[in-house]
Amino acid sequence: MNYTYKKIWLIAFPVMMSILIEQLINITDALFLGHVGDVELGASALAGIWFLAIYMLGFGFSLGLQVVIARRNGEQRYAETGKTLSQGLFFLSVLAIIIYLSSKIFSPIILKNLISSDDVYNAVMSYLDWRILGLFFSFPFLALRSFLVGITRTKALNIAALTAVFMNIPMNWLLIFKFDMGISGAAAASSFSEMCSLIVLTAYILRHIDKNMYGLCFAFDLKIQKEVFFVSIWSMLQYFTSVAIWFLLFLAIERLGETELAVSNIIRSISALFSVIVNALAGVTSSLVSNLIGTGKKKNVFPLCNRIIRIGYTAGIPLVILALLFHHYIIMAYTGNQIIMQAALQPFIVMLLNYFFALPGYVYLNAVTGTGATRAVFVFQMTTTVVYLFSLWTLCHYHVPLAAYWAVEYLFVILLGTQSVIYLKYKQY
């Protein structure tokens, strides 16, 4: 199984488009809310990250699901890939119900004690009341995406992504301004867009995937369910933790002031475009590594990772340069507030340069995931998190610029990548 640059790109590009769904939804929300008010712009950052942390429980499970499906595909046990998908759909649907109910009960209690501004807190809750409904669509979508990536048939993800984007933009405008729903309208538009993308992907699988070949019969199988769960549990915890610490970062920034929080939401929103490339290539890495191991070609893991990193730099570096050259116009798209625009420049540059460290860090980390060592990945995550939180705690005791908080991200991704490379070099898998 030879993964050339062209083949990797053809597999990865549709995955980028599908990840772009969630990120463009967040970007669109920020673009519209930036013209509603600074409180709404800042609140959407906290609410968006809180939701993303919850979403990452499902995303983490879907990565474990993808690894198991890809391994079966590499072993040419095609009928078992569909059976595995069934278990993923069942688990993620139940998880969506549990998280929805838990969030309705506990989110107001937790966030009230964490957010210092009453205006920001009220706006966050208004957003979450509608946004949390999207779990009923985004979680099943994750299961279907894991199946298509695992069997390396990813073209349909382009259509699903474009559907979500084209629905989200007009719905944001309509609900926020015409129906005067404000921040609630942004959240409702996002959930509606995810429903549309799920419908598109479901229709594609039902129409174009050979149900007999891939064993697409939706029946509960406890044995497969346990296998997927024990692979996925560590990825769930890993990805939840990775976003939870972002939430802590934004809580620390919220205490600097509403202006700094609004600036950070703009920076986070723009960084989402670069994280699309990183996350897509990293996600594809885990699937391709799993397929390689399934065919007995472990020695090709590092050459594969190096090809993927080169593709990432080829795609990302021109975008970094363009963003640096036109930073004023990019930030101006979010807000006309001159104070926010000036305060955003330094953290904006820091965020852009982090791309050079984040890409190899996450590619190697997901290569470890592809070997099935999700527990090791979780350990790497926790070790890095301790260092990250200690660094944030230290910064909180000194008067440092906002850019310093964003620079801690460098430390995070470098530590993740270093631990992953050491594991891949010296651990038998």
75 pLDDT exceeds 90?
no
Segment 289-302, tens digit of pLDDT? 988 887 878 888 99
DSSP codes joined into one string, 314-355: HHHHHHHHHHHHTHHHHHHTT---HHHHHHHHHHHHHHHHTH
The first and second tokens of residue 227, run together, are: 């296998």
Q: Quick check: 305 and 369 in contact, CB under 8 A?
A: no
- Packing angle between helix 374-395 and helix 355-370, nearest 10 degrees? 150
Count other C-beta atoms under 10 Å from residue 76's C-beta.
8
Torsion of CA 198, 200, 203, 208, to 10 degrees: -120
Residue 1 CA to residue 295 CA, distance in Å, equals: 8
Where residue 1 falls among pLDDT bands split at 50, 70, 90? low
HEC string of 143-209 equals HHHHHHHHCCCCCHHHHHHHHHHHHHHHHHHHHHHHCCCCHHHHHHHHHHHHHHHHHHHHHHHHHHC
Q: What pLDDT shows up at residue 396?
A: 82
Q: What pLDDT shows up at residue 177?
A: 87
Q: What pLDDT shows up at residue 234?
A: 84
| Least confidently predicted of 122-131, 132-141, 218-227, 352-361 | 218-227
Where residue 429 falls among pLDDT bands split at 50, 70, 90? low
Element of type H or E holding 40: helix 38-74
Q: What pLDDT shows up at residue 293?
A: 84
